[in-house]
Amino acid sequence: MKKHIQTAEKADACVHALASVTMSKMSIPRATSTLKSRLGSGWTFYAAMQWLAGKSANEYFKEIPEDSKIAQIPLSIARTIAGFAEIQIYFLEDGNEFDEIDWTNNAISEILKNLQSTR
């Protein structure tokens, strides 16, 4: 059970960081600082994207109930955020630079803004 508590905290922190950056609520350096304070000194924004794109997050998202929320975001949207992270990791591993990514002009940002406007 302790693993799931730890995994839940990672999911919450990583989803929150990526959602906040894509919605221009937080800068990447601030997101990294928040991740470090919540999860430990080795956590960066890039590390959060890697974790969301990885096996542990995928398994966790499959295990928890469909009506769950992660970082106050419905699970279905959190899965979309994880998918976005996977696309960005692929983009970066293909030789592109981190600062080439337009974090505020993408589909996930629109999804999150629409979700926010319905509350």
At 119, is the secondary structure helix, strand, or coil? coil
pTM exceeds cut of 0.95 = no
Going residue by residue through the chain (119 aa), what tens digit of pLDDT does each one get? 344 459 999 999 999 999 998 888 899 999 999 999 999 999 999 999 999 999 999 999 999 999 999 999 999 989 988 988 888 888 777 766 665 556 555 666 666 666 555 54
Residue identified by tokens 């350096």 is 29
Residues 6+ apart with CB under 8 A from 49: 14, 18, 85, 88, 89
**DSSP assignment of 38-107, as one string?**
HH-TT--HHHHHHHHHSHHHHHHHHHS-TT-EETTEEHHHHHHHHHHHHHHHHHHHTT--GGGS-TTSSH
Dihedral class, residue 65 (left if φ above 0, else alpha if ψ from -120 to 50, else beta): beta
